[in-house]
A and B are shown apart, each in its own frame.
Chain A
Amino acid sequence: MSAIPVEAEKKVTQPSDVVLDRAEALDLLYQMILIRRFEEKCAELYSAQKIRGFLHLYIGEEAVAVGIMKMLRPEDAVVATYREHGQALARGVPIGPVMAEMYGKQEGCSRGRGGSMHIFHKETRFYGGNAIVGGGLPLAVGFGLADQMRFDPHVTACFFGDGAVAEGEFHESMNLAVLWNLPVLFICENNLYGMGTALEYAESETDLAAKAASYRMEAESVDGMDILAVLKAAKRGVEWIRNGNGPYFIEACTYRFRAHSMFDAELYREKTEVETWKAQDPIERFSEMLREEGMMNDADLAAIEERVAREVAESVEFAEAGTWEPIEDLTRFVYSEPDPNRRV
């Protein structure tokens, strides 16, 4: 039996209904389109060698980040991976500094020290940007622990891929989060591949929600290409956690439309498979739905695209106008600098 008997207190949560008004619905669509166009621009800028290093695109998976973030509060925390532009934008990290970060400029949200894989932002409690697969999970467990010990009613949303499920960190984190009843929302973005290794070559049990459930984790699997399904799952999860029931696990079934990174020849998957998944494009599916519901017309969509185009262009201008950090500053941020206002 676990040290903290949680089972008896667990409350039954009913499937949550999500009601969106028109403005909210259009805002979600806007966010997904913003991520899409931003990353299309990033790919272009990579070819132009403005962005270097590794660049992992989220294109195709936008509904997951946007759906989850919608259910978080500003005080909540987010932990993400190296494929985190979508999470950053959906969380509200300002787009200009995100782009400047990819340029390596000091106006970037991590001062150009991190690049595409290491986006951080204090105001939105966005804790990166971890490029060690599975590395973010123990950190999220720790945020949950701090919240529990401080009686802070926060949720920590922890994003990771299907590949991370094979790492020891996943298993150790599932176990500890449930054992200690910690307020963490785990979101596994199952896009069927860890780099070029398909799920069936990596997992003896490919039902990832079942894996989490084997730790007595409350777990469910949703269609990650359907933002409404993600919203509902996120709502259930967040309510479950805020009611004191401990962690919650969501497997979001999704697909990346682009290569793993800019160096990937994609030898491991068929073009037809990619096409099949593109037919499930989360942006198109949601747009269709909104049209059918009479919530959106062509003019609305055009207005969104126009706004997005402007914001993406402005982010590029911001990054271009950015400056290089002086070389003399190289060894800053290895240790904390003296700060009279800091309270440890």
Chain B
Amino acid sequence: MTVNNVMTVEKPADQAVEMRTLTYREAVREAIREAMKRDERVFLMGEDVGHYGGCFAVSMGLLEEFGPARIRDTPLSESVFTGAGIGAALGGMLPIVEIMTVNFSLLAADQIINTAATLLHMSGGLFNVPVVIRMATGGGKQLAAQHSHALEGWYAHIPGIKVVVPATLEDARGMLWPALMDPDPVLIFEYSTLYNMKGELPVEPVAVDIDKAVVRRPGQDVSILTYGACLFKALKAAEELAEDGIDAEVVDLRVLRPLDDETIMRSLRKTHRAVIVDEGWRSGGISAEIATRIMEQGFYELDAPVARVCGVEVPMPYAKHLEDEALPQPHEIVAAVRETLG
């Protein structure tokens, strides 16, 4: 691997890779289609995934392609269909459970936290749960306080589940399969503001991992550690900083549990400064965990205190100007970096 996994898609030098343009939404759909074709045990279930085409249109057309046995519309019953996904996984299937948004996953939190996350341990290692649970997360669409929160960092508190957050198209397409092949429950969080994002992907699927953080922009002066929709805000901030000769490294964490300490510390050893950016609320959030790990593992590398840019601690307001203020923005990242540099 080259400079800290800079590219997830490695193009062989000797052959031209055929590329095509698609959206993040289409990349997720492709991932589901490929998994369904690859393994008969894979099926998708959730609210409105079939006839409606998915609340974010991710599964549009899949019912027609795979039929109602494998693209299953469920009643509005988050607890039972998530629990049924766990049971079906134990029973030999490879379910992809779709929960519309992370806020609604709270109706299934008991099944996720008290069952999926604990079963292997409670059974003394007898029963593992290879379920995948996908859900949308994040704010930015003026959907107010019951549809906009970013609770993935909170799920990352739970031992027994893995938490991944694809931000790029390659990850949106690539992370589902390794998640399905993982013997344990994997939660995939898709930032709803990314569904319309367009980009180029190789026609042939490229394998990606669900273990490592990835450096999306190498730099020397400061490490911006982030994931999800904030990755693009961080990249934008890095561009702005570059105009002033500040060379920021942007690390896409990708996996919130287990965290890839190694990539984080490697970046820190290079830059000696860290700014953590996430949409979750500051108190007890994932950024607090990362900052603590930096204290524990890299304290003497630091030339400045670790800084955080997080969601403001308020349930999400509807009005646009207030929502914008509640979410991390590039100018705040720029300001935090400048302050870190003194």
Residues of A within 8 A of B (CB): 52-54, 104-105, 112-115, 117-118, 130-135, 163-164, 166-168, 194-198, 201-203, 264-265, 267-268, 324-325, 327, 330-331, 333-334
Contacts and interface: CB of A to CB of B under 8 A. Distances in A.
B324 to A, nearest CB: 9
B142 A330 contact: no
Majority DSSP secondary structure for residues of A touching B: loop
Contacts of A201: 51, 73, 75
Contacts of B47: 194-195, 197
B6 interface: no
Contacts, number: 121
A273 to B, nearest CB: 13
Interface string B15-58: 00000000000000000000000000000000110111101000
5 contacts: A131-B146, A167-B77, A195-B55, A264-B52, A331-B314
B13 interface: no
A264 B143 CA distance: 16
Given A53-B143, A113-B317, 13 more contacts: A54-B143, A113-B322, A114-B318, A163-B76, A194-B75, A195-B55, A196-B51, A196-B52, A196-B53, A197-B47, A267-B51, A324-B319, A325-B322
Given A133-B76, A168-B77, A196-B48, A53 B317 contact: no
B146 A130 contact: yes
Contact of B104 (A114, A130, A132, A168): A132
Nearest to A52: B142
A324 B76 CA distance: 36
Interface string B96-124: 00000001100100000000000000000
B153 to A, nearest CB: 19
A130 B103 CA distance: 13
Contacts of A325: 319, 322
Of B47, B315, B325, most A-chain CB atoms within 10 Å: B47
A202 B317 contact: no
B48 A330 contact: no
Contacts of B322: 104, 112-113, 325, 327, 330
A168 B81 CA distance: 12
B289 interface: no
B79 interface: yes
A5 to B, nearest CB: 32
Interface of B: 47-48, 50-53, 55, 73-80, 103-104, 107, 141-147, 312-315, 317-322, 325-326
A54 B76 contact: no
B77 A131 contact: no
Contacts of A135: 146
Contacts of B314: 330-331, 333-334
A330 B320 contact: no
A83 B265 CA distance: 49
Contact of A53 (B80, B107, B144): B144
A118 B312 contact: no
B323 to A, nearest CB: 9
A118 B326 CA distance: 18
A342 to B, nearest CB: 21
B52 A268 contact: yes
Given A104-B320, A202-B75, A132 B103 contact: yes
Contacts of B147: 54, 117, 131
Given A168-B77, A330-B326, A115 B52 contact: no
A197 B321 CA distance: 34
Contact of B142 (A115, A264, A333): A115
A22 B52 CA distance: 44
B47 to A, nearest CB: 7
B166 to A, nearest CB: 22
Contact of B325 (A52, A267, A330, A334): A330
A327 B325 CA distance: 7
B144 A113 contact: yes
Contacts of A267: 51-53
Contacts of B53: 196, 265, 267
Nearest to B319: A104
Contacts of A114: 144-145, 318
B201 to A, nearest CB: 25
A194 B104 CA distance: 15
Of A114, A131, A168, A197, most B-chain CB atoms within 10 Å: A197
B319 A134 contact: no
B116 to A, nearest CB: 18
Nearest 7 Cβ contacts at the A-B interface? A196-B52, A115-B318, A166-B75, A104-B319, A53-B142, A202-B75, A268-B51
Contacts of B318: 53, 104, 112-115, 118
B321 A324 contact: yes
B144 A134 contact: no
Nearest to B326: A330
A220 B135 CA distance: 37
B46 to A, nearest CB: 10
A140 to B, nearest CB: 17
Contacts of A333: 314
A131 B80 CA distance: 20
Given A118-B144, A331-B314, A194 B76 contact: yes
B75 A115 contact: no
Contacts of B48: 195-197
Contacts of B144: 53, 113-115, 117-118, 131
Given A52-B142, A195-B47, A112 B319 contact: yes
A117 B48 CA distance: 20
Nearest to A198: B51
A330 B75 CA distance: 37
Contacts of B317: 112-113, 330
B51 A134 contact: no
A274 to B, nearest CB: 15
A167 B104 CA distance: 11
Contacts of A203: 75
Nearest to A166: B75
Contact of B145 (A118, A324, A330): A118
A198 B47 CA distance: 11
B325 A167 contact: no
Contacts of A195: 47-48, 52, 55
A325 B48 CA distance: 36
